[in-house]
Structure 1
Amino acid sequence: MKNPWQLTPRNNVSFLKFGANVSLRAFFGQSGPWFETGDMDGDKNSIFHDVDGSVTNYNDSYVARIDNYLVRHPKCVNVTEWNGVTCSGKYAQVYVQARNPQNLTMSIVRDEYPSNPMTLRGINQKAPYQQYQPVVMLEKGYTIHWNTQSPQTTHLYLINFDKGDWLRIGLCYPPDTSFQVMSQIVKSQTFPVEEYQPVSSIEELQKRRTEGKYFFDNSTGLLFLFLQAKHNRDGPQL
């Protein structure tokens, strides 16, 4: 452990065999001399994909740290001796860059578990931006808050999304903030920039999820938008 950066849910394991004397097939650490506080971003987002159930006895399952409510759902199974939880579902990551200011702590919370946010310190404290990469469950809603002033510029990148995969993200800003929301495919060549347009309600945003729209709820200070992969990923699909 003591990992400042996130693992990917595309970390697959299969065909594992354990000896009769192996008491722990997985372990996500605990506070102490080996793991310190277990409070780094990568520790909190530890996850792997048990393809054939050779670790968990559940085919096509994902194993994460027990206190990670970003990836949970009601049918997950706690494995307390591992300090872990076993879940089914579809998972990916969102890579977040925050600029001006660039030394923020980010808090992200799933809509279904508002009392269980994950706080991420980010890495590259001396860079012109701070970066975070939480593991998320697809087709869910998340809200991002900051420990002080919201960044003037935030970049959101879809990591390990397949075509059609989506998330709804809410970003916290002061009331009456003005926005310029843009989308662009980042590859070796330049692609045109799509500028998002505002809508008047969260219900309209939901209906027009694929159209490049956003909604700012001035009463709560939350900017909502959908992140959706519109193209297939390059390379092998693991």
Structure 2
Amino acid sequence: MTRISVRGVAVASATAVTAVGAVVGMASGSEGKTTQTVDVAGATLLAEVPSGAQAQTVSDNIGQQASAQQASADAAAKAAAEQKAAEEAARQKAAADAQAKADAQAKADADKAAKAAADQRAADAAAANRSKSRSAMAAVDDSAPAVSVSPGSVQDMARQIVGNDTQFQCFSQIVKRESGWDYTATNSGSGAYGLVQALPGSKMASAGADWRTNPATQIKWGLSYMNSRYGSPCGAWSFWQAHSWY
């Protein structure tokens, strides 16, 4: 009997052959002997090769595995690129922050230096003004002898020059606080001089060349100053009370 390539068919054929052999043996009158059969069912007839559908399934599985591996590689590459970008952004931000801090410190240092320079210029200007004031005072003719008067006499002199008693009281309040009625009083810091502390004292020369030694000249100049700037000694006194200077 011819062999076939399908296992199921081969098994059936072998079974048929066995059955036919047995019948033939019995028919031939053999004495209790049966014809020996060959077990062809267990023999391998053809190599077991995947069918077309099975081959396609295997191919699909291999393709899916390759796609999965490629997707995993792409995801890893993307994550690495994102990490690198994040690190670069952090580096750039740190550099920008450091630069901003350095710029702020440089500006603060420059502002501090500028302020120190401005303060020094102001101090130099104040010193120059004091020196100029002292020089102007020294330039006045000191040949005129100082008027010998007591504080009470100076006040009486001022009362007569100011005239109005109310205005004199305001004038007196200012003079008392500025010089204590000492017509030679000198402010060591500013150089202001006299009863009304004119600054510089040489301003009082407009009322008389003897402004340094004559209280009457200082009173006349002070009264004129208060009238022209504040309208009256009482106007000057109101301003002085609010500011402690006039």
TM bucket, shorter chain: under 0.3
Q: Which structure: greater strand fraction?
A: 1
Bigger CA radius of gyration:
2
Give the structure-1-normalised TM-score.
0.18
Give the structure-2-normalised TM-score.
0.18
